[in-house]
Structures are given as structure tokens and as C-alpha cells.
Structure 1
């Protein structure tokens, strides 16, 4: 679903095909150009020909591409797209361009899906006027569902809560913001409106005066606070988890060790950026499965890279078996770029684990 990062550009008229060809050469992203068969023989064009009606093509592109530019009236596009709409989290970004090339309209999945930015890029190439109607854009205010997205932050709240907090921000209600982890330069891109105030403590954040809240943390917190008002919880990717294990350890043992450790230290699993281990464990199924469950990558390091890091906090079986000072602790440090651990090596019967905070998110 929406796997292709290229932009699907579709035109059904001669004027539209001329602009579509201009767009294909002017955009900085890869473009898949689709022209009605009678128009696809333009000299120098690498267009893919299709036969009318256009509906079957649109149906396929809607699920295969993340970005669509349609050279057709907005009304026609709405009728074509309507049967396939799911949600703003799943639908591709869609931009419509009129046959005169005057307007590039952000039609679907505006700021979250990227249609707002795409409309502005299309307008730049075609010398058209971008039409963007997202509330956060036109009011030049904070986009709640996009906060931290460029850093890979995860939103731990459901869509209903995000909608309620977004409404509070847009409508000028008092909104509290508390950040104790993650990148802080997002404020340069998203200046806070006057009604969003930065809090210095959880006590201040939990004041009944606020209508809603934005909480950016990699820690577990008292979730009873979520009952008082809508709060969007963001999980910045701040943790590198070093993993060592015996051959053929069970995935369940690794997962259990991870969850017990994070619960015990008050850390949020949603803030894990990566797992890290020695390169001899590339084929260790349990580590691969844990990474898949967590939806994070695994960073692998050779013995020299691990030995260049500070030694373990206790005796290491890896010294004798693998020729390295340790695995979990030095791997966590190597992946994080940090020199200090926030969780020193913990053990289960067949695995070890350590945690370091990413130096770029400290």
C-alpha cells in the first residue's frame, strides 16, 4: 500500500499533458508520468500510456503511490477518489491542477501526507498558485499531528485525541507543552502560537487550567493525567538498546527481558530508535524478530568497533567466546554515539541488554 516514493502524474487532456511533461522534468523527485494513449506519443516523453476511462488507473495508483498529481477538475478527482478513501494516515497525498494551469490544489492528505508541500512544489514548476486549506497552514500555527515527524517521533495517542488537541490549538484554547527528551530544534520550524505555553514541570503541566496538552517524553508517566484532558503523547527516538545472547535464544525471552527492563527503569519502549549487537549475530532470528516487533532497525558492529568502547560493568562471557570486551554495553554505546549508559547490563538466562541515550537526542 502506497509503497512507491515516486510521484504519479496523470493527465487526460492535451493541455494537461503539456503541463504534466513540464512537471515531470521540473520536479526534484522521481515521477511516473501517465498520459491518455492519444497524448503519450509526445516527442521526448517517457510517459506510460493508458486507455480511458481513467478510473481503473486511479484505483491502482491510489494504493501503489504515496503522491498523486491529477490534471483534471477538482470535482472529477473527488468522484474518482471517493470509493477508495480510508483515512489521512493511509491515503496518499493528492494534488489537482486545472487545465489552465492556474492553481495547484492540495486536495487530500494535506500536511500529514505531504500534499500541502507537493502543491507548493507543483505550483513553483508550473508558475501556478498553490491552494492550501489546512488550518495549521493558513493560520500559521502548530500542526499537532506533524510535530517531530521529521525526527521520526511516534505519536502514542489515538486519532481522536489528536483531533481534539488540534482543535484546541487552532481555536486558541490554553494548551500546555512539556518536553523532557528528544530534539528541541523543532521550535525553529514550528514557532508556538500564543495559546501554547511551555511548562517546566509535570506539576505545572497537570494544572486544571489547561484545555489540552502536548507531552514529549521518553519516560513512563502517570497516565491518570490523560483522564483530565486530551493529551497527545510524543515518543522521540532516544534509546539505543544493545543486545547480546546465546545462539538460538527464544524471541520471547529477549522481548520479556526488554519489557521488564524498560518498565523497571521507567523508560518508554516507543522511544527505542534501534537495536545494536555484534555482526556475528546477523543471522540470530530472535534479534531480527524483536526488531520487527518494535519496528526498528538493527545496527551491527564488528569486534574492533566494540572493543573501542568502554568495557563492561561486569564479567563478560563474550571475551572468551567472541574475543570482545562485551556485546550489549559497547553495542549500545556504539549505536548511540554516547560514552555513558543509562541502563547497565541486565541479564536473563540466555541474553543481556543495555541502554544508552542517542547523543543527537540527549
Structure 2
């Protein structure tokens, strides 16, 4: 797992080490500088020395860092990296710089992993030429696998479908786009190419004229409502889920209530942005585990914040026990910034749940 957000910079030649030191001071991100031992004694350098051969170092950095800059020929880098390649979703971004400092080459995990942007930043510092070959970049078209990434949108389609739809976009085939949820200003950063057309209805989206589709939604559509074309489904983070529960409720009960509710209302679990509850539940294991399973944060609110929101639907046990008008409904409203719920309080034997749509993604 590539956990470190710092950039690992590796140089094995004297000329490369000079540029690596220059890069380390010029980049705006934290840099871990690795120099061959004979070159690491430069005055003022905070480099980490390593002994040749460089392969063991590269093997370790490949799994520990998200970004690598290698001052070496592209061919040498390819041979070093080849045994460790997995997929563009898992591999780190890798940029190569030649010994003359003329080119910064985006070698691996280009736009998805960030190597394209990194190559341009490296080139800026070294006054080199960035070399980027990603099709969406060179053709100035839509990057299907990056759409909505800055907002945290999730792609629910498998990589094969993403590849097929990306090919349709790049090759100029007619592609339909339908959005019924989530942030809409993404088009300011990613103008649509002429072959991608915005649809106003599912009927238009399902026209047989389209070769592929881009569907941005927080709802679950019956698969029979979609035709057989390859369709990439994006899940914008639009839902705040308010949660209330008795002490020591089981995580399975909470998870079951959530899934039954979302299935019943046709809502996508992948579009949950956060859970929300009263601050007295900070140590409630079931809520923490559910958040971990969903990979979302938990927002905690004190009694005053909950009492400032509209009251619950029906009687609330929280009024007597906790001194608040309710937990799940006001917590969902507080987290979303909205005044309306899309799912009013539902119950299991030991838990309650309510859902509101985020006001910034409505």
C-alpha cells in the first residue's frame, strides 16, 4: 500500500543528484531524497544514502510511496519497475528525468495516479519539457476515470467498463451523459468534447444511438432500465446519514438497517458522504465500525446543535434520556446543511436512521 504522500526522489549519478537536490527544494510537496552513497555527502543535503544496486530501494519505495521521481533513463526505470506492476489503481505515479535534465517523462499512473501533473511540476522546477502521453491529456478531452475525483465521487463500474467507455470518448464515438445528483461545476474543469452530449432524461440516455454512457447519480436504477451499452456509473457524495442507537448495539444491526433503508428507497450506499450523531456516541463501537466499513467520517454534534434543527417525526426517546429533540433526524440535517429529509426516521429494535441530501450537492 502506497501510504506516504511525500515524493520519493532517487538519483544514481552526480548530474542527477545535483538536479534531485534542486528539485527537493523547489517542489511544494514534502520530498524524501535518496542518493547513491558517494553522492549523499553534499553539504546542506538531507539526502538518505543508499548502496547500489538500486533495485532493492526501488522495490521498497514502490510500495511505500505514492509518487516517485527517478533520475535515470526510461529504459532502466522500466526494467526496475516491471516486476512490481499491479494496476493503475494501485501503482504509484512515476516520473523519469534524463541526466541532461531536458525531459520529465510521465511514465506510470499518468492522470489517475497523478504522474501527469507531477511531470509538469518537475519540469517547472528544472526548466525541462514535460512529456505526457495520456490520450485524454494530449487530445484535451474528458478523462473518464478522473471525472468528479476532486469531489470524492466514486466509480462503481469495473475497470473493463471504464476502459471501454474511455476508448469511446477518445475515439470520438457518440457518448451520452446523464447527471441527476452531485456537484455540477465539474464541467468548468473538464469541458465536454463534442462527442459527449448531455441528456435531459433517462429515455434520451437510453437511445440506441449512443455507443457508451456516463451516469452521475446517487440513485439505484433497475438494470433493465439501462441498455446493454458500456456505462460508467459515478456516485457523488450526496448523503448525510443521521444515526441514533442504544448503547452497545451490534454493528450488524446498524449495517442491516442502513442497507434495508437504502435498498427500499433506491439510494446508492456509495453516495454516502458521512454519518452523523450526538457527541455522546463518540465511543459507540457500532457507529465507528459502520463508518469504517463505508469508508466515511462521522460528524458529532452536541445537544444545542441538534436542538437547533427541526424536531423528529414522532416521539423521541432521546428527549427523555439525552435531553435532545432527537438524534438521527436532526443529526442528518445538521451534517447536510439542509432543512429537509429525504428519508425520515426509520427504526430497528435498537437503532434509528435518517437521511438528508448535502446542500452543496443538491
Deviates more, 1:23-32 or 1:288-297: 288-297
Q: Secondary structure, in 3 states, of the residue corresponding to 1:334? A: helix
Q: Secondary structure, in 3 states, of the residue corresponding to 1:150? A: helix
Deviates more, 1:331-340 or 1:109-118: 331-340
- Once residues 234 and 223 of structure 1 are traced to their aligned partners in structure 2, the CA distance between those partners, rounded to angstroms, is 15
Q: Cα offset for 1:225?
A: 4.7
Q: Secondary structure, in 3 states, of the residue corresponding to 1:82? A: helix
Would the aligned equivalents of 2:235 and 2:271 in 1 still touch at CA under 8 Å? yes
Q: Cα offset for 1:285?
A: 1.1
- Once residues 237 and 201 of structure 2 are traced to their aligned partners in structure 1, the CA distance between those partners, rounded to angstroms, is 21
**Match of residue 177 from structure 1:** 177
**Match of residue 328 from structure 1:** 328
Q: Secondary structure, in 3 states, of the residue corresponding to 2:32? A: strand
TM-score by length of structure 1 reads 0.99
Deviates more, 1:295-304 or 1:149-158: 295-304
Establish whether residue 250 from structure 1 lines up as the match of residue 261 from structure 2.
no
- Once residues 223 and 125 of structure 1 are traced to their aligned partners in structure 2, the CA distance between those partners, rounded to angstroms, is 49
Q: Cα offset for 1:295?
A: 1.1
Q: How many residues align?
A: 362
- Once residues 355 and 106 of structure 1 are traced to their aligned partners in structure 2, the CA distance between those partners, rounded to angstroms, is 43
- Once residues 159 and 285 of structure 2 are traced to their aligned partners in structure 1, the CA distance between those partners, rounded to angstroms, is 34
Q: Secondary structure, in 3 states, of the residue corresponding to 2:313? A: coil
Gap runs ≥5 in structure 2 = none
Would the aligned equivalents of 2:55 and 2:80 in 1 still touch at CA under 8 Å? yes
Would the aligned equivalents of 2:206 and 2:226 in 1 still touch at CA under 8 Å? no
Report the CA distance shift for 1:74/1:226 in structure 2 as closer, same or farther (over 3 A). farther
Cα deviation digits, residues 6-51 of structure 1 (max 9, x gap)? 0000000000000000000000000000000010011111000000
Cα deviation digits, residues 301-330 of structure 1 (max 9, x gap)? 111111111111211100110111110011
- Once residues 225 and 188 of structure 2 are traced to their aligned partners in structure 1, the CA distance between those partners, rounded to angstroms, is 29
- Once residues 225 and 40 of structure 1 are traced to their aligned partners in structure 2, the CA distance between those partners, rounded to angstroms, is 62
Q: Cα offset for 1:224?
A: 2.6
Q: Aligned-pair RMSD on alpha carbons? A: 0.7
Report the CA distance shift for 1:331/1:28 in structure 2 as closer, same or farther (over 3 A). same
Cα deviation digits, residues 61-106 of structure 1 (max 9, x gap)? 0000000000000000000000000000000000000000000000
Q: Cα offset for 1:252?
A: 1.2
**Match of residue 356 from structure 1:** 356
- Once residues 265 and 86 of structure 1 are traced to their aligned partners in structure 2, the CA distance between those partners, rounded to angstroms, is 38
- Once residues 99 and 107 of structure 1 are traced to their aligned partners in structure 2, the CA distance between those partners, rounded to angstroms, is 16
Q: Cα offset for 1:3?
A: 0.0
TM-score by length of structure 2 reads 0.99
Q: Secondary structure, in 3 states, of the residue corresponding to 1:118? A: helix
Deviates more, 1:336-345 or 1:207-216: 336-345
- Once residues 193 and 29 of structure 2 are traced to their aligned partners in structure 1, the CA distance between those partners, rounded to angstroms, is 33
Q: Cα offset for 1:227?
A: 5.1
- Once residues 19 and 325 of structure 1 are traced to their aligned partners in structure 2, the CA distance between those partners, rounded to angstroms, is 62
Report the CA distance shift for 1:226/1:96 in structure 2 as closer, same or farther (over 3 A). farther
Q: Cα offset for 1:112?
A: 0.1
Q: Secondary structure, in 3 states, of the residue corresponding to 1:8? A: strand
Cα deviation digits, residues 202-256 of structure 1 (max 9, x gap)? 0000111100000000011021355510000000000000000001111111111
Q: Secondary structure, in 3 states, of the residue corresponding to 1:349? A: coil
Q: Secondary structure, in 3 states, of the residue corresponding to 1:227? A: coil
Would the aligned equivalents of 2:306 and 2:327 in 1 still touch at CA under 8 Å? yes
- Once residues 242 and 251 of structure 2 are traced to their aligned partners in structure 1, the CA distance between those partners, rounded to angstroms, is 15
- Once residues 228 and 320 of structure 1 are traced to their aligned partners in structure 2, the CA distance between those partners, rounded to angstroms, is 54
**Match of residue 267 from structure 2:** 267
Q: Secondary structure, in 3 states, of the residue corresponding to 2:226? A: helix
- Once residues 131 and 87 of structure 1 are traced to their aligned partners in structure 2, the CA distance between those partners, rounded to angstroms, is 21
Cα deviation digits, residues 298-357 of structure 1 (max 9, x gap)? 111111111111111211100110111110011101111111111111111111000000
Would the aligned equivalents of 2:336 and 2:357 in 1 still touch at CA under 8 Å? yes
- Once residues 177 and 15 of structure 1 are traced to their aligned partners in structure 2, the CA distance between those partners, rounded to angstroms, is 49
**Match of residue 42 from structure 1:** 42
Deviating 4+ runs (over 6 angstroms): none
- Once residues 163 and 328 of structure 2 are traced to their aligned partners in structure 1, the CA distance between those partners, rounded to angstroms, is 40
Deviates more, 1:162-171 or 1:283-292: 283-292
Would the aligned equivalents of 2:206 and 2:227 in 1 still touch at CA under 8 Å? no
Q: Secondary structure, in 3 states, of the residue corresponding to 1:203? A: helix
- Once residues 320 and 208 of structure 1 are traced to their aligned partners in structure 2, the CA distance between those partners, rounded to angstroms, is 58
Cα deviation digits, residues 178-216 of structure 1 (max 9, x gap)? 000000010000000000000000000011110000000
